[in-house]
Structure formats: C-alpha cells, structure tokens
C-alpha cells in the first residue's frame, strides 16, 4: 500500500474519531512536523507544544481536509501558523512589520551564488542569528517555499513589506556568507 492510500484510509478513520488512526497519523508525521516547528521557535518544549496543538487542531478540522491534497502539506501549514502565532504573541513586535519602516518598494531578485562548502546547516545557523522579522520571512520564503502573497497573508503584512524584508534578509545572509568566504557574489 502506498503512502497516499494509507493516509486516505487513516484520514477517513480519523473522521470517525478513531483514536488508533489518529495515533498512527501522529506517529507518521510527528518527527517531520517537529523539525518544522523547531525551524521557527528553536525551543524543544515550545516546539512540542506547537506540535500537540497542531495535531489537535488538525483532528478537530479533519472534515475540512481535501483528500486530493497532501495531508503532510496541510498539517505543515497548521504547524507553521501555530509557530508564527506563538512568535507573534511572545517575540515579534508587530510594529516591526509595518510599511512605515520600509522605503524600498520593489527589487529584482538579485542573483547570488553560494560556495559548495556552505551547507544548508551553515545557512540555517546564519538565519537563526538574524532579527526575528527577517528570520521568519526568510524561512517562509527560502525553506518553506511560500511566495510573497502567501507570506503577506500569513504574517498580515503587505506584499511590499514581504519583498522588502526578504531583500534585506538576503543582503544580511550574503554579507555573513561573504564573511565566512562562502559566497561568490
């Protein structure tokens, strides 16, 4: 039985409040979702709380899930939203995202080449050291693959703010990589 078929069976059982099916889905996706939560909160206990809340929410809203979609992708979106909600409540100053602080409206995406020695781990470590507002936008864009419309919707900011923050984040990332001699730009 392939993964998609197994998920469909488990999801249909979850819709009937089958605890064993819920546990199987939890076991199947828990580690991956924990890694996603850790990218945002960088705290084991908080990531575990976010995962628990995310699975509870997913099982409560399982009837909203569209079978043709990926359950992992749907669950990942819930985890990211819960992590961002936690960041907004505890860490991020919402004013930091306002357009009042932004002067640059649009950038062509600059091209930058990274040396092969610059592992994903090194890049993630650099991102972790950046200010929260930049870190969140970089992670959503570079690691999760969201576009500016999605980022602006998730963070409740304008598309211009998303582009500006991403551009500044890339500049800071490139500067750090140059310092480590891992960027050719």
Nearest-angstrom CA–CA distance, 22 and 100: 45
Rounded average pLDDT over 94-98: 46
Residue 20: what pLDDT?
A: 94
pTM: 0.67
Please give the pLDDT value at position 13. 93
Q: Which two tokens stand for residue 184?
A: 């050719």
Token pair, residue 178, equals 């140059």
User: What whole-number distance in Å separates Cα of residue 84 and Cα of residue 136?
Assistant: 8
CA distance 79 to 112: 30
Q: Specify burial of residue 58 (Cβ count, 10 A radius: 0-12, 13-18, 19+).
A: buried
Query: With 80 as the cut, is the pLDDT of residue 48 above it?
Result: yes
How high is the pLDDT of residue 102? 43
Q: What is the mean pLDDT of residues 91-101?
A: 46
Q: Which two tokens stand for residue 142?
A: 């570079």
**In angstroms, rounded to a whole number, what is the distance separating the alpha carbons of residues 11 and 16?**
9
């Amino acid at each position: 039985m392939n993964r998609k078929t197994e998920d469909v069976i488990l999801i249909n059982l979850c819709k009937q409040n089958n605890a064993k099916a819920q546990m199987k889905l939890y076991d199947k996706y828990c580690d991956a979702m924990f890694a996603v939560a850790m990218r945002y909160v960088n705290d084991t206990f908080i990531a575990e709380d976010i995962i628990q809340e995310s699975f509870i929410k997913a099982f409560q809203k399982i009837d909203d899930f569209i079978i043709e979609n990926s359950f992992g992708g749907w669950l990942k979106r819930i985890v990211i939203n819960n992590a961002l909600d936690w960041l907004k409540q505890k860490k991020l100053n919402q004013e930091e995202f306002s357009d009042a602080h932004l002067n640059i409206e649009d950038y062509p995406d600059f091209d930058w080449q990274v040396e092969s020695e610059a592992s994903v781990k090194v890049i993630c470590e650099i991102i972790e050291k950046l200010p929260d507002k930049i870190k969140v936008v970089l992670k959503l864009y570079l690691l999760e693959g969201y576009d500016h419309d999605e980022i602006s919707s998730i963070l409740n900011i304008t598309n211009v703010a998303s582009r500006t923050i991403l551009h500044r984040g890339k500049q800071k990332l490139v500067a750090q990589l140059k310092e480590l001699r891992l960027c050719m730009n």
